[in-house]
Structure 1
Amino acid sequence: MDVFLINSSILAALWLRFDFTIPQLQLQNYYTTAVLTTVIMLMVFYMSNLYNSVWRYASIDELISIVAASFVGSSILFIVYFHLLRINFPRSMYPIAMLLLTASVGGSRFAYRFLRRVKRISLGCSMQNKRVLIIGGGTAGSLVIKEIYDNPQICKTPVAVIDDDAVKYRRKIHGVSILGNRGDIEKVVKEEKIQEIIIAMPSATKTEIRKIVDICTKTKCDLKILPGVYEILDGKVDIKKIRDVQIEDLLGREAVKVNLEEISDYLHNEVILVTGGGGSIGSELCRQIARFDPRELIILDIYENNAYEIQQELLRKHKKINLEVIIASIRDKKRIEQIFEKHQPKVIFHAAAHKHVPLMENNPMEAIKNNIFGTMNVAECAHQYGAKRFVLISTDKAVNPTNIMGATKRVAEMTIQAMNHQSETEFVAVRFGNVLGSNGSVIPHFKKQIAEGGPVTVTHPDIIRYFMTIPEAVQLVIQAGAMAQGGEIFVLDMGDPVKIADLARDLIRLSGFEPDTDIKIEFTGLRPGEKLYEELLLKEEGLQGTKHEKIFVGKPIVSDFKKLQRELMILRTVLASEDSALADGIVRKVVPEYRCVG
Structure 2
Amino acid sequence: MSPWRDRLRTAMPRLAVIAHDLAMVWVVWQGLHRLRFGVLPNPPHLPLWSTEVVLVLAAQGLVFWWVGLYRGLWRFASVPDLWNIFKACALGLFAIVLGLFLYNRLDLVSRSVLVLYPLVLMGLLGAPRLLYRAFKDSRMERSSKASVRILILGAGHAGEALVRDLRRFGTYQPVGFLDDAARLRGTKLQGVPVLGRVRDLAEIARETAAKLLVIAMPSADASALQTVVAACERTGLPFRMVPRLQDVLEGRSLPGELKEVAIEDLLGRKPVLPDWKAIRGWLGARSVLVTGAGGSIGSELCRQCARHGARRIALVEIDELALTTTEAALRRDFPDLEYIPVLGDCGDPAVIAHALRLAEPEAVFHAAAYKQVPLLEAQLREAVRNNVLSTHTVATACRDAGVGTFVLISTDKAVDPVNVLGATKRLAEMACQALADQRSTRFVTVRFGNVLDSAGSVVPLFREQIRNGGPVTVTDPEVTRFFMTIPEACQLILQASAIGTHEAIYTLDMGEAVPIRLLAEQMIRLAGKQPGRDIAVVYTGLRPGEKLHETLFHADERYRPTGHPKILQAEPREVAAQVIEHAIAQLREASARYDREALAEQLRAAVPEFQPVGQHPPMQASGTVVAFPARHARKI
TM-score over 0.5 for the pair: yes
Counterpart secondary structure, 1:588: helix
Counterpart secondary structure, 1:439: coil
1:189 corresponds to which of 205, 224, 234: 205
* Cα distance change, pair 558–310 in 1 and its aligned pair in 2 (3 A): same
Q: TM-score, normalised by structure 1?
A: 0.82
Instruction: Give distance in 2, aligned partners of 1:586 and 1:99.
Output: 87
Amino acid at match of 1:140: A
Higher mean C-alpha deviation, range 276-285 or range 203-212: 203-212
User: Identity over aligned residues, as a percent?
Assistant: 35
Matches within 5 A, 1:185-584: 185-220=201-236, 221-228=238-245, 240-294=256-310, 296-341=312-357, 343-420=359-436, 424-584=440-600
* Cα distance change, pair 119–46 in 1 and its aligned pair in 2 (3 A): farther
Please list the CA deviations of residues 17-75 of structure 1 after superposition, one character each: whole Å capped at 9, or x if unmatched: 9xxxxxxxxxxx99x98xxx99x9899789747765433323345556778999989x9
Instruction: Give distance in 2, aligned partners of 1:570 and 1:204.
Output: 54
Shift of 1:268: 3.0
2:165 maps to what in 1?
147
Instruction: Give distance in 1, aligned partners of 2:156 and 2:527.
Output: 28
Query: Are 1:349 and 1:390, in contact at CA under 8 Å, matched by a contact in 2?
Result: yes
Amino acid at match of 1:325: P
Shift of 1:554: 2.0
* Cα distance change, pair 46–539 in 1 and its aligned pair in 2 (3 A): same
Query: Are 2:151 and 2:178, in contact at CA under 8 Å, matched by a contact in 1?
Result: no
* Cα distance change, pair 345–133 in 1 and its aligned pair in 2 (3 A): closer
Instruction: Give distance in 2, aligned partners of 1:506 and 1:42.
Output: 65
1:26 maps to what in 2?
none
Amino acid at match of 2:366: H
Please list the CA deviations of residues 278-318 of structure 1 after superposition, one character each: whole Å capped at 9, or x if unmatched: 21111121222224444532221112222223323333343
Query: Are 1:449 and 1:456, in contact at CA under 8 Å, matched by a contact in 2?
Result: yes
Higher mean C-alpha deviation, range 366-375 or range 42-51: 42-51
Shift of 1:253: 2.3
Shift of 1:408: 1.1
Query: Are 2:583 and 2:602, in contact at CA under 8 Å, matched by a contact in 1?
Result: yes
1:117 corresponds to which of 137, 158, 162: 137
Shift of 1:206: 4.3
Gaps of 5+ in 2: 1-15, 36-45, 105-111, 616-636
Amino acid at match of 2:449: G
Amino acid at match of 1:358: P
* Cα distance change, pair 198–585 in 1 and its aligned pair in 2 (3 A): same
* Cα distance change, pair 171–415 in 1 and its aligned pair in 2 (3 A): same
Shift of 1:374: 0.4
Query: Are 1:383 and 1:423, in contact at CA under 8 Å, matched by a contact in 2?
Result: no
* Cα distance change, pair 292–65 in 1 and its aligned pair in 2 (3 A): closer
Shift of 1:551: 0.8
Amino acid at match of 1:463: V
Please list the CA deviations of residues 395-449 of structure 1 after superposition, one character each: whole Å capped at 9, or x if unmatched: 1122232322222111111211222269732222111011112122222222222
Counterpart secondary structure, 1:522: strand
Please list the CA deviations of residues 518-556 of structure 1 after superposition, one character each: whole Å capped at 9, or x if unmatched: 333222222221222211222322322222211112221
2:611 maps to what in 1?
594
Instruction: Give distance in 2, aligned partners of 1:63 and 1:295.
Output: 43
Query: Are 1:357 and 1:529, in contact at CA under 8 Å, matched by a contact in 2?
Result: yes
Amino acid at match of 1:438: S
Instruction: Give distance in 2, aligned partners of 1:461 and 1:555.
Output: 35
Q: TM-score, normalised by structure 2?
A: 0.77
2:145 maps to what in 1?
126
Amino acid at match of 1:316: R
Query: Are 1:395 and 1:406, in contact at CA under 8 Å, matched by a contact in 2?
Result: yes
Shift of 1:558: 1.1
Instruction: Give distance in 2, aligned partners of 1:360 and 1:352.
Output: 15
Query: Are 1:367 and 1:404, in contact at CA under 8 Å, matched by a contact in 2?
Result: yes
Counterpart secondary structure, 2:546: coil
Amino acid at match of 2:582: R
Counterpart secondary structure, 1:126: coil
* Cα distance change, pair 393–64 in 1 and its aligned pair in 2 (3 A): closer
Amino acid at match of 1:58: A
1:57 maps to what in 2?
76
Counterpart secondary structure, 2:150: strand
Instruction: Give distance in 1, aligned partners of 2:272 and 2:146.
Output: 44
* Cα distance change, pair 377–108 in 1 and its aligned pair in 2 (3 A): same
Instruction: Give distance in 1, aligned partners of 2:290 and 2:483.
Output: 23
Query: Are 1:463 and 1:533, in contact at CA under 8 Å, matched by a contact in 2?
Result: yes
Instruction: Give distance in 2, aligned partners of 1:284 and 1:544.
Output: 28
* Cα distance change, pair 594–424 in 1 and its aligned pair in 2 (3 A): farther
Amino acid at match of 1:134: L
Higher mean C-alpha deviation, range 360-369 or range 53-62: 53-62
Please list the CA deviations of residues 446-500 of structure 1 after superposition, one character each: whole Å capped at 9, or x if unmatched: 2222222332222222221111111111122112222253442211111111111
1:160 corresponds to which of 173, 176, 189: 176
Amino acid at match of 1:431: R
Query: Are 2:147 and 2:173, in contact at CA under 8 Å, matched by a contact in 1?
Result: no
Instruction: Give distance in 2, aligned partners of 1:207 and 1:327.
Output: 44
